[in-house]
A and B are shown apart, each in its own frame.
Chain A
Amino acid sequence: MASDSTHLSHNHHVQPVGMYMKVFGALVVLMVATIAVAQVEALKEYSLLNNFIAMGIAVTKATLVVLFFMGVKFSSALTKIFVLLGFSWFFMLFFMFCDYFTRSWEPVPGWTGTSQETAMPRENRWSEGFDRLK
Chain B
Amino acid sequence: MATEAAHGHDQQWLVHHQYEDYEQQSESYIVGMWAFLVTEIMFFGALFLAYVLYRWQYQPEFYLIHKDLDWVMGGINTTVLLFSSLAVALAVRCAMLQDRKGVLGWLTVTQLCAAGFLVIKYFEWSHKYHKGVWLGEGFKWGEGVTKYAQDVSANTAQLFYSLYYCMTGLHGFHVVIGIIVIGILMRMWFKNNPLVTKDYVPTELVGLYWHFVDLVWIFLYPLFYLMPR
For A113, list chain B residues within 8 Å (CB): none
Residue pair B211, A65 in contact (C-beta under 8 Å) = yes
Shortest Cβ distance from B165 into chain A, in angstroms?
20
Residue pair B226, A35 in contact (C-beta under 8 Å) = yes
Residue pair A70, B86 in contact (C-beta under 8 Å) = no
The listed residue (B2, B83, B228) touching A16 by CB distance below 8 A is B2
For B61, list chain A residues within 8 Å (CB): 133
For B5, list chain A residues within 8 Å (CB): 11-14
Residue pair A47, B89 in contact (C-beta under 8 Å) = no
Q: Answer yes or no: A3 CB below 8 A from chain B CBs.
A: yes
Q: In the complex, what residue of chain B is closest to A35 when comparing beta carbons?
A: B75
Q: Answer yes or no: A94 CB below 8 A from chain B CBs.
A: yes
Q: Answer yes or no: B109 CB below 8 A from chain A CBs.
A: no
For B219, list chain A residues within 8 Å (CB): 58, 62
B interface vs A, CB < 8 Å?
Answer: 1-5, 7, 20-21, 23-24, 26-28, 30-31, 34-35, 37-38, 41-42, 45-46, 48-49, 52-53, 56-61, 64, 71, 75, 78-79, 82-83, 85-86, 88-90, 92-93, 96-97, 151-153, 155, 200, 204, 207-208, 211, 214-215, 218-219, 221-223, 226-229
Q: In the complex, what residue of chain B is closest to A117 when comparing beta carbons?
A: B153
Question: How many A residues, CB 8 Å from partner?
Answer: 69
For B4, list chain A residues within 8 Å (CB): 11, 13-14
Given the known A-B contacts A16-B1, A54-B228, A86-B41, are A65 and B214 also in contact in the complex, defined by CB atoms under 8 Å? yes
A interface vs B, CB < 8 Å?
Answer: 2-3, 5-6, 9-17, 20-21, 23-24, 27-28, 31, 34-35, 38, 43-47, 50-51, 54-55, 57-58, 61-62, 65-66, 68-71, 75-76, 78-79, 82-83, 85-87, 89-90, 93-94, 96-97, 100, 117-118, 120-121, 124-126, 129-130, 132-133
For A66, list chain B residues within 8 Å (CB): 211, 215
Give the CA-CA distance A50 to B222 in the complex, in Å: 11
Given known contacts A20-B89, A35-B226, what 5 new A-B pairs fall within 8 Å (CB)?
A: A14-B5, A24-B85, A66-B215, A83-B34, A129-B60
Given the known A-B contacts A35-B226, A47-B59, A94-B49, are A75 and B42 also in contact in the complex, defined by CB atoms under 8 Å? no
The listed residue (A27, A44, A69, A121) touching B229 by CB distance below 8 A is A44
Interface class of chain A by DSSP? helix
Q: In the complex, what residue of chain A is closest to B152 when comparing beta carbons?
A: A133
Q: In the complex, what residue of chain A is closest to B58 when comparing beta carbons?
A: A125
Residue pair A75, B30 in contact (C-beta under 8 Å) = yes
For A68, list chain B residues within 8 Å (CB): 89
Give the CA-CA distance A70 to B37 in the complex, in Å: 12
For B1, list chain A residues within 8 Å (CB): 16
Residue pair A82, B93 in contact (C-beta under 8 Å) = no
For A133, list chain B residues within 8 Å (CB): 60-61, 64, 151-152
For A2, list chain B residues within 8 Å (CB): 20, 24
Give the CA-CA distance A45 to B218 in the complex, in Å: 24
Shortest Cβ distance from B128 into chain A, in angstroms?
21
**A and B contact pairs by CB, cutoff 8 A, 13 listed:** A6-B23, A12-B96, A13-B4, A14-B3, A16-B1, A35-B71, A66-B211, A68-B89, A87-B41, A90-B48, A118-B155, A125-B57, A129-B60
Given the known A-B contacts A10-B27, A16-B2, A82-B35, are A65 and B41 also in contact in the complex, defined by CB atoms under 8 Å? no
Residue pair B59, A126 in contact (C-beta under 8 Å) = yes
